[in-house]
Amino acid sequence: MTTKAVVICPQNISTYYMDENMSEERAQTIIQAENAKKDRIISLVAEKVGKDQYILIEKFEYFAALKKIEPYRRQPCLIYPGISDMERLIHIIKVSIPLEKGMSWWFKNKYVMRLIEVHNLTPSMISSATGLDLPIIKRYIPDSRIPKNIWDIGSQVGAKTVLEKIARSTVIPNEVKFLLYEHAIEEKDSAYKLTGPKFDLMKTFFSSCHLPDYFLADPARLKQLINQLIVTNFGLEKRMMKLLDSFLDDGWRSTLSRTLFLPKP
């Protein structure tokens, strides 16, 4: 395949999808690191898809940094002749998933889903074409059991892993799962946020406690229970103190009891 090197403004190179929320500080760091590479000759790689039309196929994180800081500064770019849309997407996935560590899950999901939705490829076919293991490809396919609006928010706020754990759980009732999805995408500092450790406790709770059908059919009571478990951290502090108290002598119990009511520094 014939290639040639050209000098081109990043602004004149298009992409299918691009992460747009990079900070200037991070962009500067990426550019400085790329410039410091001793073997760096040409970093950007694109395809020519028409007269004076180019589409990026490698180095997306560096490209995003250039677009943020130096969108009109001409950069050396290696240009390949255009190929089919499907072949181009396969190449992008093959390169970007293992190498573009700084690009978001959302970015990689867009490329995988385009192959599935536009070109009717299965995950197994994508795995075979890219040489990437099937579990790696499936990592970027949304779980169909999770509502799309929840998944879209969760993948942007770092709650994807917790959402997947909720969906996979075999001990948590479906009526509860839909409440937990909402808690998983709460703001990071919210008292109602379902974190990974709290999900593990939730799984333990439902492994030990069977809720009767009439309770599961009452959304208001069910929501109250879930809220209380998350906000109080399952009452662990009181239970731990009670457990410790049962092992202490009487004198130590009274000392411990007084300590609990002292104001915290």
Q: Measured between alpha carbons, how far is 161 from 172 in angstroms, rounded to an integer?
A: 16
Which amino acid is residue 243, in one-letter code? L
* Residue 257 binned pLDDT confidence (cut-offs 50, 70, 90): low
Q: Measured between alpha carbons, how far is 261 from 236 in angstroms, rounded to an integer?
A: 17
Residue 106: closest CA among 155, 46, 162: 155
pLDDT exceeds cutoff 60 at 262: no
pLDDT tens sequence across 99-150: 998 888 888 999 999 999 999 999 999 999 999 999 999 989 888 888 888 9
Mean pLDDT value of segment 183-187: 94
DSSP 57: E
Query: What residue has token string 């940094």?
Result: 65
pLDDT tens sequence across 1-35: 578 899 998 888 999 988 777 889 999 999 888 88
- Structure tokens given for 146: 């999770």
Mean pLDDT value of segment 181-207: 93
Mean pLDDT value of segment 67-79: 90
